[in-house]
Amino acid sequence: MIQLKVKILYNRREKEDYYHLSLLAPKVAREALPGQFVNIWLGREDGAFLRRPFSIHRAKEGQLHILYKVVGRGTELLSQRKAGETLDIIGPLGHGFDYQLSATNYQLPILVGGGIGVAPLTFLAERLACCLRPAARIKPLVLIGAKNKKQILCAQEFRALGCQVKTATDDGSSGFKGRVTDLFSYLLSTFLNYKLSTIYACGPRPMLKELASVCGKYNIPAQISLEEHMACGINACLGCVVETKNGYSRVCKEGPVFAADDIIWR
Amino acid sequence: MKPNLSVSIGRLKLKNPVLVSSGTFGYGREFAEFLDLRELGAIVTKTITLRPRQGNPPPRTCETPAGMLNSIGLENPGIEVFIEKNLPSLLKMGAPVIVSISAESDPTEFAALAKKLDRIAGVKALELNISCPNLKRTKLIAQDAAESFQAVKLVRRNTDKPIITKLSPNVTDISAIALSAQKAGSDAVSLVNTFLGMGIDVEKRMPRVSTVTAGLSGPAIRPIAVRMVWEVYQKINIPIIGMGGIMDLSSALEFIIAGATAVSVGTANFINPATTIEIIRGLKQYLIRNKIKEIRSLIGSLHVQG
pLDDT of residue A73: 92
pLDDT of residue B135: 81
pLDDT of residue A194: 73
Domain count across chain B: 1
> Which residue type occupies B2?
K
Active site residues of B: 132
Exposed/middle/buried for residue B160 (C-beta within 10 Å: 0-12, 13-18, 19+): exposed
CA separation for the pair B99, B121 (Å, rounded): 12
CA distances from B172 to B50, B131, B142, B178, B257 (A): 30, 14, 11, 12, 23
Helix (H, G, I), strand (E, B) or coil at B177: helix
Q: What are phi and psi of A99, to 5 degrees?
A: -110, 5
pLDDT of residue A193: 74
For residue A191, pLDDT beyond 80: no
Tens digits of per-residue pLDDT, A192-210? 777 778 999 999 999 999 9
Contacts of A73 (CB under 8 A, 6+ apart): A47, A48
Instruction: Find the CB nearest A237 among B61, B62, B63.
Output: B61
Q: What count of other Cβ atoms lies within 10 Å of the Cβ of residue B157?
A: 11
- Concatenated DSSP letters for B222-245? HHHHHHHHHHHHHH--S-EEE-SS
Exposed e or buried b for every residue in B202-215, given b needs 16+ CB within 10 A? eeeeebbbebeebb
CA separation for the pair A15, A69 (Å, rounded): 10
pLDDT of residue A136: 62
- Residue B169 is part of a domain; what is its CATH number? 3.20.20.70
Nearest to B73 by CA among B129, B113, B119, B33: B129
- Concatenated DSSP letters for A131-143? HS-GGGT---EEE
pLDDT of residue B133: 83
pLDDT of residue A45: 76
Helix (H, G, I), strand (E, B) or coil at A10: strand
CA separation for the pair B255, B241 (Å, rounded): 9
Helix (H, G, I), strand (E, B) or coil at A242: strand
CA separation for the pair B3, B285 (Å, rounded): 9
- Fold of domain A100-262: Rossmann fold (3.40.50)
The answer to whether B67 contacts chain A (CB < 8 Å) is yes
Does residue B52 lie in a domain region? yes
CA distances from A227 to A122, A206, A255, A264, B1 (A): 18, 12, 9, 14, 51
Average pLDDT over residues A71-88: 95
- The phi-psi region of residue A16 (left if phi > 0; otherwise alpha if psi is between -120 and 50; otherwise beta) is left
Query: What is the number of alpha carbons within 13 Å of residue A145 lying toward its C-beta?
Result: 22
Tens digits of per-residue pLDDT, A129-149? 877 656 566 789 999 999 999
Instruction: Answer yes or no: do B72 and A45 touch at CB < 8 A.
Output: no
Instruction: Answer yes or no: do B70 and A229 touch at CB < 8 A.
Output: no
Which of A241, A246, A265, A266 to mutate to test binding with chain B, by most B CBs within 10 Å of its CB?
A: A241
- Concatenated DSSP letters for B9-73? ETTEEESSSEEE-TTSSTTSGGGTTTS-GGGSSEEEPPPB-SS-B--PPSP-EEEETTEEEE---
Q: What is the ipTM of this complex?
A: 0.93
Q: Which stretches in chain B have pLDDT values below 70?
A: none
Return the domain boundaries, chain A.
Answer: 2-93, 100-262
Q: What are phi and psi of A182, to 5 degrees?
A: -70, -40
Contacts of A182 (CB under 8 A, 6+ apart): A168, A176
Tens digits of per-residue pLDDT, A40-50? 999 877 789 99
Evaluated on CA atoms B239, B244, B247, B253, the torsion sign reads negative
Q: How large a percentage of chain B has pLDDT more than 70?
A: 100
Instruction: Find the CB nearest B30 among A3, A235, A239.
Output: A235
Instruction: Find the CB nearest A228 among B58, B218, B247.
Output: B58
Mean pLDDT of chain B: 96
Instruction: Answer yes or no: do B33 and A46 touch at CB < 8 A.
Output: no
Q: How large a percentage of chain B has pLDDT more than 90?
A: 93
The answer to whether B75 contacts chain A (CB < 8 Å) is yes
Question: Number of CB pairs < 8 Å for A and B?
Answer: 94
> Could you list the residue range(s) of the whole structural domain that residue B134 is in?
7-298
pLDDT of residue B137: 72
Mean pLDDT of chain A: 93
Does residue B304 lie in a domain region? no
The answer to whether B72 contacts chain A (CB < 8 Å) is yes
DSSP B171: S
Instruction: Answer yes or no: do A51 and B72 touch at CB < 8 A.
Output: no
pLDDT of residue A46: 78
pLDDT of residue B216: 98
For residue A175, pLDDT beyond 60: yes
The CATH homologous superfamily for domain A2-93 is Translation factors (2.40.30.10)
Tens digits of per-residue pLDDT, A245-266? 999 999 999 999 999 999 999 8
Does residue B150 lie in a domain region? yes
